[in-house]
Structure 1
């Protein structure tokens, strides 16, 4: 494990060639086909997100090719209808693929888009920072992509609103520092019909349930602190994008949604269609979460049924579901329930599209430095149950009742033997995603408890464990192993779940150059270390022996200097 960690880190350091100038102010960075020179610590660069950039290039390569073909086909059909000509000799102009990177920073991503994606016609690299734009201009000329990349210094929201009609972009990339919701309203308006929106969110503490009130104010959904929080974060972000799109008669179709490292990243197509927007409530659900056993129950906000007055049987009508019986306590452990959501409860991936991206990565491994990880993660995503939201975690299931954890393949075999489906989730190594009811899952745990009983001393003080294990087993549970319980991605030993390969692995600090070579705390972290303790030690004593209150701003500025 440790060898793999350092091999990965060595590959990263080999790609980030940094030669500090005599004054220590310039860094030279190489990633993919791009070479950058960054001369300011106010321009943000994070080598950790190389996987993010590689995956974006792979997705955009497939999307740009298909978008070009689909657009030309629609244009040809429209020309034939308008001109009433049915010959194949109608001239169709070449489809232009314009990409906007609204928050470009160093411009690395835009330069890689221009040099590595075959069908890109134009890339607009925008940033508010004057220093960032000057850096981008220099690097665009350095990489000889001036004919493709157009630099822009403007507020991202204003720029997107200026291009909402008719000069829309085929793809818009949003990768802000933290929450992206402030950019979504303008982003969903400036994407072409059938275009792609790429969104990253790095405020995982908010999305994962640490601050449910903050999550509601930013995303319009209440998050919950559960073991499945990483997929919950994806579904909260998707419902937020959908709500912004619906305001303008548009809707989303998720192609790929991924939770890795310290962030979530979604790739969604934007379409026009006020009629489809009416079906949005059937794609959303409220969630009941048990504080005792972590059980999840979904409460759909809407359902679809055939339209009684329409001749077309395929046309559906949205209706409100009946109110389910809501109890104050969990049926499995008798603990209290919490209500959260709404979340996106429809599929978060397009399996066919994921397969095409995976084939492209496997056929061109030399194009991506993180190709092994990309292939591993995409393989797991392709195997996921796309129509089953959220997942269980093995440690939580067996830890709640103080049992020795069952082997993963045994649990998967038990579910398959009962006729249900099961898969991993790419968001957790110990995940169980299944369409089996929660009652059956707990019956598997109770069957395991008969052969591997918990210690009586632990059960005496835990009401949750006693209540779960005391219930009768109502299902037939067969623990015999099955060959198909071991998925192909696991048998092939793919790199599915990567360990953090370097110290300080994370989102970095806002607008600060991060080269990946820092060992231990950063310069700012060292300067701020023990700041509060130093202020207490040096603050003047009052007459009664207490510390005098000092002006916070003055103290901070003094410590910074």
Structure 2
């Protein structure tokens, strides 16, 4: 590393993260050490994306040149040879760069990056970026820029392969110009730290103003936050005939981080309505029901036909407990993750240098959890079910065993510990709750008749179509007691138990005293 005579490192604090070392003026430029996990993951994700983008373009080139098809082994060999010959090509825009740390790490750690624009509105921040560019010897690839990020991106249409938006608070104001500046097939990395608005229920009017929807709250409030951000991005993109493809969407500590691709595909834009939903949530038992805003069907030729959705799925009062249903959304109703993309990052993570990437255990843990999540909407805590019914809280193993024996799937979630995602409807969840109450011999007469729990336990329509005797017979367990069989471990519960017992870091340990989101920089 060469240092200019004009820079006296002794006058600054040195901070090394990844392969970059920055000179850090106190109280001048915003730096949050807690977000090293964010930056480590971003470097790996950009590397995975740039390799994927290159492979796609090499495949298109071979197709244009009408090269003969090879078998799988030959094709993989040719792809690897082409990749080795490839020159750095990716252009990255870091819209809110602060110290330039992230931009410097990108050019040092991602081989296919050609250039990075490290932009900031602050004069002091740009001076710091320039100093750190020179100190790290990356001036040929990283260029600083002082500008309003919104105006700058709007003036550079279809220019960047990757755009990183990591603001203090919401990314909503930057989204329109970012969508214009991203190339077709490019990737956007988006952070929102305003979870008090996004995932809380104290500011529904502000959440709607920023993201075009409201969070219904409840156990799955962090997943709803992700879906609200995706809705804001997808509706913005649709105005420019672009559609989004979520690759990896994570709720992390005090913020959400989304990795999405943007494609100019008008047919996908037409699917936006059917991928957008309202959510009805009961105020008494917290059960949910989803209402898509569009419907897709196919004619005899296989062509898609788009129409209005029918609904609503529930009435004004909950069918389980009679309490009032509230409406959340609109929000994104599609998949949150692309498992193939996650596999690419995990492969890079397995080979990454632990001295550079200090948070690899958590990258592996959180991505493993995300990869194994069911592609369904929302999760719930078994303790929330027990709280409504006034029964002892069942374990995850007990709850997932019942779901599995009733023919449903279940998974954990990356967002919150001790929660379950399932493809079972809420009627099945409350049926299991009633059986748990029966198992612990709950005295229903001691419950107040106005409570949601009493109304559910005395609601005979819940589970009336579930034939335990038939299910037992099909499982070859006719001799077993109904309750004993219902909560007996099975493949579904065993798989979750295995995932919970392996030693992976799922959630952040407190790295420093009073850690968390810091105040806005001066």
Q: TM-score range by the shorter chain?
A: 0.7 to 0.9
Does structure 2 conserve the Cα–Cα contact (< 8 Å) formed by 1:402 and 1:458?
Answer: no
Over aligned residue pairs, what C-alpha RMSD do you find?
2.3
User: What is aligned with 2:370?
Assistant: 381
Whether the 8 Å CA contact 1:71–1:95 is kept in 2: the answer is no
Does the alignment pair 1:463 with 2:451?
yes
Could you say what secondary structure the match of 1:145 adopts? coil
Please name the residue that 1:61 is paired with: 47
Match of 2:412 in 1: 424
In the other structure, the counterpart of 2:116 is: 123
Change in CA separation of 1:324 and 1:125 when aligned onto 2, cut-off 3 Å: same
Query: Which residue number in structure 2 is paired with residue 98 of structure 1?
Result: 91
Give the paired residue count: 476
* Gapped regions of structure 2 (runs ≥ 5): 1-8, 68-77, 469-482
Deviations 1:295-338 (A, max 9, x none): 11001111111146xx4x2x312111223354111111110011
How far apart are 1:355 and its partner, in Å? 1.5
Aligned pair in 2 of structure 1 residues 143, 452: CA closer, same or farther (>3 Å)? Answer: same
Match in the other structure for 1:207 = 198
For the pair 1:245 / 2:233, whether they are aligned, the reply is: no
Shift of residue 462 of structure 1?
5.7
Measure how far apart 1:184 and its partner are. Answer: 0.2
- Out of 220, 228, 233, the position equivalent to 2:220 is 228
What corresponds to 1:113 in structure 2? 106
**Mapped partners of 2:238, 2:137: distance in 1:** 40
Q: Contact 1:279/1:304 (CA < 8 Å) preserved in 2?
A: yes
Which of 292, 307, 310 lines up with 1:300 in the alignment?
292
How far off is 1:451 after superposition? Answer: 2.2
State the shift of 1:457 in Å. Answer: 8.7
The match for 2:4 is none
Q: How does 1:208-357 map to 2 (within 5 A)?
A: 208=199, 209-307=201-299, 311=301, 313=302, 315-324=303-312, 326-357=314-345
Structure 2 residue 186 is matched with structure 1 residue 186: no
Q: Deviation of residue 78 (structure 1)?
A: 4.7
Q: In the aligned structure 2, how far is the partner of 1:318 from the partner of 1:458? A: 52
1:395: which partner in 2?
383
Note the 1:124-163 alignment, pairs <5 A.
124-163=117-156
State the Cα distance separating 1:384 from its structure 2 match.
0.4
Contact 2:400–2:492, Cα closer than 8 Å, also in 1 = no
Q: Provide the rounded CA distance (Å) in 1 between the counterparts of 2:444 and 2:12.
A: 64
Task: Measure how far apart 1:399 and its partner are.
Answer: 1.1
**Long gaps (5+) in structure 1:** 1-20, 82-87, 513-561
Secondary structure of residue in 1 paired with 2:28: coil
Cα deviation 1:26-83 (Å, max 9, x = unaligned): 32211111111111413100011111111111111111111122224334545679xx
Following superposition, the deviation at residue 497 of structure 1 comes to: 2.7
Query: Residues 453 and 359 (structure 1 numbering): CA distance in 2 closer, same or farther, change over 3 Å?
Result: farther
Alpha-carbon spacing, 1:489–1:326, altered in 2? closer, same or farther (3 Å): closer
Shift of 1:500: 3.4
CA 80–152 in structure 1, closer or farther in 2 if over 3 Å, else same: farther
CA distance in 2, matches of 1:302, 1:494: 40
Cα distance per residue 1:424-458 (max 9 Å; x no partner):
11111121100111111111111111222457696
Which residue is equivalent to 1:41?
Answer: 27
1:368 and 2:357 matched: yes
> What is the CA–CA distance in structure 1 between the aligned matches of 2:426 and 2:313, rounded to whole Å?
17
SS at match of 1:286: strand
Question: Kindly tell me: are residues 43 and 416 of structure 1, through their superposed partners in 2, closer, same or farther at Cα, counting changes over 3 Å?
Answer: same
CA distance in 2, matches of 1:131, 1:461: 64
- Offset, 1:205: 1.1
Q: Distance in 2 between matches of 1:93 and 1:492?
A: 39
SS of alignment partner, residue 419 of structure 2: strand
Task: Tell me if the contact between 2:289 and 2:314 (Cα under 8 Å) persists in the aligned partners.
Answer: no
Q: Secondary structure at the match of 2:391?
A: coil
2:401 matches 1:413: yes
Contact 1:61 1:117 survives alignment (8 Å): yes
TM-score (norm 2): 0.87
Once residues 502 and 93 of structure 1 are traced to their aligned partners in structure 2, the CA distance between those partners, rounded to angstroms, is 42
